[in-house]
Structure 1
Amino acid sequence: MKNDSSTECWNKVGIEWYLYAQTNDFRMDFIMPFTLKQLGDVSGKMILDIGCGEGGYSRELAKKGAIVTAVDCTEVAINYSKLKAEEEQLNISHYVRNSNDLQGIPDNTFDIVLSSMMLMDCEDLNGTVKEISRVLKLGGKLLVSILHPCFNGKDIHWSGGNIVPQVVINNYFSPTEWEAPIAKSINSIVIWRHRTLQEYIKTFVKNHLNIIDLNEPIPDDQQISESPRLGFLSKIPMFLFFELEKIV
């Protein structure tokens, strides 16, 4: 596997992160339901879950009848994903790979590639998108979710309590990276990256991926009642979803 700053920092993250991810309300009650709804009927579809983490999406897609390949740069994540798939008797192929080098996966293999909340973590954005495009079939779809570059990153200031946080953008046009804990309750340090929207879009276009949909989803009343802090997302979009199609 090719190593870079992304793989090095994420390989220092322990199992506690992958357990936490399965209890996080933003992921479980908002991002994942929206993602699965956008993917629709996946029965019989060849799907790559790139940056699969603990494999939650891979398992849900396999249960829905998809033929799933799960890739992550960390052995901890892949080993956990394999274990959970075996426990649930799900047939999922697993690879430990840097997302910019999907060695062993042939060209034009997948109907769908899912990249959930991982592109902003890649050191090599163009290399990753190039590899995604390579393994997608012509006309295949890529569903991407990222932290919204206009409203998220190191310049969100939480006021505490039940007060709605303020979002302060100091320099949107200055792509940068910094080190910080992966979550307030987890001490593992990872590299966070800010990129502009135009960098993402130009990278997609360069690699023959055409944007066919874009969403800044808003939580519904039921989601907010189950997790009140999701109400913030009805005012400020923390997450941005692209749907793309391979055209060449």
Structure 2
Amino acid sequence: MSEWKELIQDSQSRWNENAEYWDDYMGEQSNQFHRELIRPYTEKLLNVKEGQTILDIACGNGNFSRRLAELGANVIAIDYSPKMIERAKLRSKEYLNCIDYRVLDATNHGSLIELGKQKFDHAVANMALMDIADITPLMKALQKLLKKNGSFVFSITHPCFQTPHMRKVHEIEDIDGDIHSRNSVQIFNYLSPQPYEAIGIKGQPSPHFMFHRSLSYYFNLSFQNNFVLDGIVEPCFNKEKEPNRFDWYEIPPVIILRFKKL
């Protein structure tokens, strides 16, 4: 077995180990990142129409799958963690007539193609591609899975500002008797793709793997598979007051992209 396949299996094993903890934490409404930064802009970029068929990639506990169903879509939702799919089904008993949950590895091109060529109006992946060891099979498959003019919308941790071992900096300065504070980040090793271990939620049973890739990596892989970029959002939190800590104001922690099939 190649080292790459071992890494994929190790990543899957860790997500399965963390699945119940993540589901308990995310609950029905998910976390602040999803509620304020991901969902509203992803919905806008997807522009879901009633009756459309949408592929939800790395669906987790099904939070967004259920939202898509509420918007009138028929959803096939996949995740490579059996425990996460089990939790998603338990939370989605009222939606199982319009959400088809499946355990499926997004690095397996053949399994993806079996979902159905030109079956989907759109595909979406919320905060997931940076957790997938190899996204090349997925991008190749999506070109076949999407209908004409179909789109793929995905959000990731912003690779320009959240590189491996990135440091958050909060500085306080006395300027002529007034206290001023500012936030910044120190980044390292932006250009080189690399795996690293990370903690997404404090207290999770095991660190999970993240896979850093530059923006040009995502862009060029999409272009090579005949997608064109036609939507982009870099959201950050609204600054209501000056906090005495680092927060994501003016520095976007995530980026959301829409690529349309040519």
Q: 2:127 aligns with which of 107, 117, 140?
A: 117
Name the residue aligned to 1:82. 89
Partner Cα distance (1:42, 1:53) in 2: 23
Contact 1:53–1:77, Cα closer than 8 Å, also in 2: yes
2:205 match: 187
Q: 1:156 aligns with which of 139, 149, 166?
A: 166
Cα deviation for residue 220 of structure 1 reads 4.3
| Native 8 Å contact 1:85 1:91 kept in 2 | no
RMSD: 2.7
Alignment equivalent of 2:99, drawn from 92, 97, 101: 92
Distance 1:78 1:88, change over 3 A: same
**1:41-86 Cα deviation digits (max 9, x unpaired):** 4311110000100100000110111011100000111111111111
Q: 1:215 aligns with which of 217, 224, 233?
A: 233
**What is the TM-score when the length of structure 2 is the normalising length?**
0.82
The corresponding residue for 2:59 is 52
CA distance in 2, matches of 1:210, 1:103: 21
Determine if the alignment matches structure 1 residue 233 to structure 2 residue 236: no
In structure 1, distance between residues paired with 2:253 and 2:133? 21
Distance 1:6 1:138, change over 3 A: farther
Worse-matched range after superposition: 183-192 or 121-130? 183-192
Give the whole-Å Cα distance in 1 for the aligned partners of 2:142 and 2:63: 20
Q: What is the rounded CA distance, in whole Å, between the counterparts of 2:126 and 2:33 in structure 1?
A: 13
Q: 1:21 aligns with which of 11, 26, 29?
A: 26
Tell me, which stretches of 5 or more residues in structure 2 are unaligned?
A: 173-180
**Does the 8 A contact of 1:218 with 1:233 survive in 2?**
yes
1:128 maps to: 138
1:168 maps onto 2:186 in alignment: yes
Identical amino acids, percent of aligned pairs: 31
Conserved 8 A contact 2:69-2:98:
yes
Shift of 1:119: 0.9
- Given the superposition, is the C-alpha separation of residues 164 and 8 from structure 1 closer, same or farther in structure 2, using an over 3 Å criterion? farther
> What does residue 202 of structure 1 align with?
220
1:35 pairs, out of 29, 42, 50, with 42
The answer to whether the Cα contact below 8 Å between 2:236 and 2:253 also exists between their aligned partners in 1 is: no
Say if 2:185 is the partner of 1:178: no
How far off is 1:141 after superposition?
0.8
Cα 1:238–1:9 shift into 2, 3 Å = same
Amino acid at match of 1:118: A
Query: Which residue identity does 2:11 align to in structure 1?
Result: S
**What's the secondary structure of 1:105's corresponding residue?**
coil
In structure 2, distance between residues paired with 1:160 and 1:25 = 21
User: Alpha-carbon deviation of 1:117?
Assistant: 0.8
SS of residue matched to 1:83 = helix
Relative to structure 1, the CA distance from residue 40 to residue 184 in structure 2 (aligned partners, 3 Å threshold; closer, same or farther) is same
The structure whose Rg is larger is 2
- Where structure 1 has 5 or more consecutive residues not aligned to the other structure, the ranges are none
CA distance in 2, matches of 1:91, 1:6: 29
Give the drift of 1:189.
1.5
Which amino acid in structure 1 is aligned with residue 144 of structure 2?
A: R
